Amino acid sequence: MKHSDLIDQGSIVTITTALERQTVLLAGRESVGKSQLAAAWAKQPARSANFRGSTVHIEHYLTERFDLVDTPGILRTSDSETTRLALQEMSHHETVLLVVQATCLDEDLAEMLPLLKGKRGAVAVTFWDKVQPGEASQEALERLEKETGLRFIAMNARMPTTVTLAALEEAIERSQAFPENPPKSKTGWRIESKPGILEGRFGAVFCLILLLIPALLTIFGANRLADLLHPLVAQAIQPAIEWVNASFPAWLAAPLTAEYDDFGYGLLNMGPFLLVWAFPTVLLFAVISAIYKTTGLIERINITLHPLVRPLGLSGRDLVRVLVGFGCNVPAVISTRACSSCSRGNAISAISFGAACSYQLPATLAVLSAGAVANGTNPLWPMIGYFAYLLVTTMIYLRLTSTSVSRDRLNMLMHFQRPFLQWPSWSAIYREMRGTLEQFLFQAMPIFVVICGVTSLLAYSGAIAVLSAALSPIMTIFNLPPSASVAMVMASIRKDGIFLLTPLEGATTPMTTLQFLTAVYLAGVLLPCLVTALQISREMGWQFAVKMMARQAIFASLFAALLGWSGTFWN
Ligand SMILES: Nc1nc2c(ncn2[C@@H]2O[C@H](COP(=O)(O)OP(=O)(O)OP(=O)(O)O)[C@@H](O)[C@H]2O)c(=O)[nH]1
Ligand SMILES: [Mg+2]
């Protein structure tokens, strides 16, 4: 039998097409629509977002005829990791599709053409939907085509028509050499998005309100829901806990229902509460984050707040990454690759210290709420106190640890064109929710199960008592009882270890509301979680990670001690 007989007709077509696919690199400045175009062309859901520097990896999109290589946006004035990566990738490819934004066409060409020396290709002009349609605009493109010898294909990259894509494919097949110098003829266009209330006199106030909305929704939405569900779940699992305790041997019951000092550590007496408390917040944050990212609100906030965060050694661009960190610190640390190397370290420090991730936040609020109820206090005050203290101490920490160069008043935003506001994209929201759900089920839950198992075995073996006794003098520094030490250790592995501070239903609490506040603060900021710490050392080297964590632990301890003993100053 001949080899080819073994392959059915369909596979031959696939193999041939794969072999013949031409590689085309998409290059351009940030947020010009490279990812959007590549995704639409390959008929895949767009992985793009409406803030600068959203792509940080080289990504491949396959169409029938092309292997499209999507690169991070290039900022010639920046020393960012992403610009370096894009330029390095460009050096490996001959055919380039230059993507420029119609709204600042002259600027994009002047910036990009000198980088394309020796390459061949064509030009995709995106955001054509923002240009006044008519002969004049078409003629301007024809003039540019004549002068440069390149094909210019105008489009709305969010929904390119089949005619547009066919024209694009033809233009690539008839690739021309890029000229070394930008064309003399200019379109003279500069189409700006209109300023809105975020750019007005009280813009910063509105930005802060927008930033508070996720926190408020968490407190009043997700946590209220959890408040309602908590007693129902507690009631539902009680018979199971009793059954396990009565019928299982102690060593087997321990990982399921272990308690220490009235705190439940087991899978059964703690696991369901993680679902009740963390899951709604994690999902809600994913939705809000997708809305802010796809509408362009996050970039507008970045531009308005830039002058306010600069004295802390951050730029508005870094601030966007810190906000992403409230979802999960790990992708936020990765996304700092698009930051200037001058302030990247500060951005990572800010994420690690101040961005309470959507596992840390619900755990913190659940503990504060349970602690306040046990002490007969209104839970709202410790919650507000927590946010205020975290914000103020993060600002002090950054001010004292950032380099003077990064705080220089002359530091400007690297690219300050306002993005056009857009309606939220449902597919992006769906994608973010699905990603978060998968991460929750397949990454967070297994690690949490391990934490529960390890902690309950430690409790069973008596190791926690030993550990607590050993750390007891240290806990005294913060005016905390020895049992709080376990949560500090576990929260350094995963932030929902903070849940270990939750007093069980109806138990008499050994801590005051202020002590709860101090304990959750310390467990939250003492160290980043283990996965974040590993990611930081992967991005910046282990020396940076160790130095940053040591510094963070010292500052966190000082701030926590101050908070813990502040009650005695007042009395
Ligand atoms: N109105 C309009 N919006 C567009 C167009 N192309 C892209 N966008 C939007 O612009 C934003 C940025 O698009 P991306 O595809 O992420 O841009 P990018 O060049 O990949 O950006 P980086 O990866 O950050 O360099 C997204 O919100 C897109 O939906 C277009 O032709 N018209
Ligand atoms: Mg992109």
Tens-place pLDDT, residues 383-423:
999 999 999 999 999 999 998 777 776 655 555 678 888 89
Interval between CA 281 and ligand 1 midpoint (Å): 28
Interval between CA 251 and ligand 1 midpoint (Å): 56
Q: Which ligand is nearest to the CA of 28?
A: 1
Residue 203 beta carbon below 6 angstroms from any ligand 1 atom: no
pLDDT at 155: 96
Q: What is the mean pLDDT of residues 64-85?
A: 90
Residue 35 beta carbon below 6 angstroms from any ligand 1 atom: yes
Interval between CA 294 and ligand 1 midpoint (Å): 9
Interval between CA 307 and ligand 1 midpoint (Å): 25
Tokens of 167: 């024209």
pLDDT at 33: 94
Interval between CA 434 and ligand 1 midpoint (Å): 22
Measured CA to CA, the distance from residue 246 to residue 253 in angstroms comes to 9
Residue 103 beta carbon below 6 angstroms from any ligand 1 atom: no
Measured CA to CA, the distance from residue 531 to residue 493 in angstroms comes to 8
Residue 551 beta carbon below 6 angstroms from any ligand 1 atom: no
Q: What is the mean pLDDT of residues 321-348?
A: 90
pLDDT at 58: 94
* Three-class SS of 208-241: HHHHHHHHHHHHHHHHHHHHHHHHHHHHHHHHHH
**Residue 463 binned pLDDT confidence (cut-offs 50, 70, 90):** confident
Residue 292 beta carbon below 6 angstroms from any ligand 1 atom: no
The pLDDT > 70 percentage for the chain reads: 92
Residue 160 beta carbon below 6 angstroms from any ligand 1 atom: no
As beta bridge partners, residue 126 has 101
Residue 129 beta carbon below 6 angstroms from any ligand 1 atom: yes
Query: Can you say how many angstroms the Cα of residue 262 is from the centroid of all Cα atoms in its chain?
Result: 36
**Residue 278 binned pLDDT confidence (cut-offs 50, 70, 90):** confident
Taking CA atoms only, the protein residue closest to ligand 1 atom 8 is 33
Map tokens 């980088």 to a residue.
115
User: How far separated are the first and last CA of the chain, in Å rounded?
Assistant: 93
Q: φ, ψ for residue 353 (rounded to 5)?
A: -85, -50
Tell me which DSSP letter residue 421 carries.
Answer: P
Indicate whether 261 pLDDT > 70.
no
pLDDT at 11: 42
Contact 285, 327 (CB under 8 A): yes
pLDDT at 134: 80
Measured CA to CA, the distance from residue 480 to residue 161 in angstroms comes to 64
**Residue 150 binned pLDDT confidence (cut-offs 50, 70, 90):** very high
Atom of ligand 1 nearest to the CA of 39: 15
pLDDT at 410: 61
Residue 53 beta carbon below 6 angstroms from any ligand 1 atom: yes
Q: Which ligand is nearest to the CA of 45?
A: 1
Indicate whether 18 pLDDT > 60.
no
Taking CA atoms only, the protein residue closest to ligand 1 atom 13 is 33
Classify 101 as helix, strand or coil: strand
Interval between CA 73 and ligand 2 midpoint (Å): 7
Using alpha carbons, list the distances in angstroms from residue 76 to 84, 87, 168, 405.
Answer: 10, 10, 26, 20
Indicate whether 531 pLDDT > 90.
no
Residue 73 beta carbon below 6 angstroms from any ligand 1 atom: yes
Indicate whether 35 pLDDT > 90.
yes
Measured CA to CA, the distance from residue 362 to residue 127 in angstroms comes to 40
- Strands 120-126 and 176-177 turn out to be antiparallel
Contact 329, 322 (CB under 8 A): no
Q: What is the mean pLDDT of residues 223-239?
A: 88
Length of the chain: 571
Query: Can you say how many angstroms the Cα of residue 413 is from the centroid of all Cα atoms in its chain?
Result: 20
* pLDDT per residue as tens digits for the range 292-301: 988 999 889 9
Q: What is the mean pLDDT of residues 90-100?
A: 96
Least Cα distance to 74 among 61, 95, 60, 91 occurs for 91
Residue 515 beta carbon below 6 angstroms from any ligand 1 atom: no
Indicate whether 15 pLDDT > 70.
no
Residue 48 beta carbon below 6 angstroms from any ligand 1 atom: yes
Residue 78 beta carbon below 6 angstroms from any ligand 1 atom: no
Q: What is the mean pLDDT of residues 460-474?
A: 80
Tell me the range of 56-65, 466-475, 561-570 where mean pLDDT is highest: 56-65
Of 11-20, 357-366, 464-473, the one with minimum mean pLDDT is 11-20
Residue 34 beta carbon below 6 angstroms from any ligand 1 atom: yes
**Residue 445 binned pLDDT confidence (cut-offs 50, 70, 90):** confident
Q: What is the CB neighbour count within 10 angstroms for residue 170?
A: 12
Pocket test for ligand 1, best of 48, 295, 297, 334 (most atoms within 8 A of CB): 48
* Mean pLDDT over each residue of the chain, to the nearest integer: 86
Indicate whether 39 pLDDT > 80.
yes
Indicate whether 506 pLDDT > 70.
no
Indicate whether 243 pLDDT > 70.
yes
Interval between CA 153 and ligand 2 midpoint (Å): 19
**Residue 86 binned pLDDT confidence (cut-offs 50, 70, 90):** very high
Residue 59 beta carbon below 6 angstroms from any ligand 1 atom: no
